[in-house]
Amino acid sequence: MNNPQSPSAAPVTEQDIGNLAPQLANYRSYWLGWGAESTRDDSVTWTRSGIAHPRLNAVLRVQDSDPESTLAAATEHFAGVPWLWELGDDTDPAIEKHLQERGIRQVGTTPVMALGLGRFALGDIPADLTIEPVSPNGDLGAWVDGYAASMGVSATARESAIEAEGLRPSDGSLERFIGIIDGRIVGTAELLVSDGVAGIYLVATDAAFRGRGIATALTGWALNVAQEKGLRVATLQASTLGQPVYERMGFTVISHLRSFKV
């Protein structure tokens, strides 16, 4: 892969990188794609996969909605699965205030990070690592197995995760990548092109292979694909483990998601 830069292309500015709205729209688009059981995207945005994982059943945004009725509706809708409120700066602050007043605790924050792709150059890839795309019609079982342990998807949830993956778009907007060493999948990464930005998701490395630059290589590969598609800004939500990796690649924190758990 190379890193073509058109001499006529305007440089990516700090304003471009800090433009949060399309990045949160990309985030919502990605997680709505997990809504195998149901989705909603109006004054309240939520996604329910039915998989026993709180991150895969979540309220993503609330706007212009009565906080008490929203709380009641969400509580009823997510009955039977673990779930979260995962809210960004596009949510009406009244709902977060209401949750806190009702004793629903904030359990964490997740950095929203962004990178100007005009600044990005694909670095060295570990010599023993091969990176390959996963066809939408490929082995989604192997894909799920590649990230399940890192992402907390249990063995009992495996088939449901495969089914949900099979329902995701096959129009080319979503691309999956795997890292392979000695025939074994040791890492994953995913690129969603949506709302004019490149969203990076499901960056995971087998615990036995961490510290070897695999996550960096897979993230970089996805970023390079995005750059070749003409995207100018990349966005992701970083775990505690991943944030230092992304900072070394040039990502900066521009906002945070706030997680609340009933």
pLDDT, tens digit (0-9, with 9 covering 90-100), for 166-225: 998 788 899 999 999 999 999 999 999 999 999 999 999 999 999 999 999 999 999 999
Cα separation of 236 and 68, whole Å? 31
Query: In terms of Cα–Cα distance, which of 229, 166, 238, 151 is closest to 200?
Result: 238
Residue whose entry in the numeric block shows the structure tokens 């990070």: 113
Is the Cβ–Cβ distance between 70 and 45 less than 8 Å? no
pTM to 2 decimals? 0.94
Cα separation of 240 and 172, whole Å? 30
pLDDT, residue 170, reads: 80
Instruction: Assign 5 a pLDDT band (cuts: 50, 70, 90).
Output: very low
Residue 225: in which H helix or E strand, if any? helix 214-228
pLDDT, residue 6, reads: 41
Q: In the structure encoding, which two tokens stand for residue 39, read together?
A: 């989705």
Residue 260: in which H helix or E strand, if any? strand 252-261
Mean pLDDT of 47-68: 96
Cα separation of 88 and 27, whole Å? 10
Cα separation of 131 and 223, whole Å? 13
Residue whose entry in the numeric block shows the structure tokens 């309240």: 44
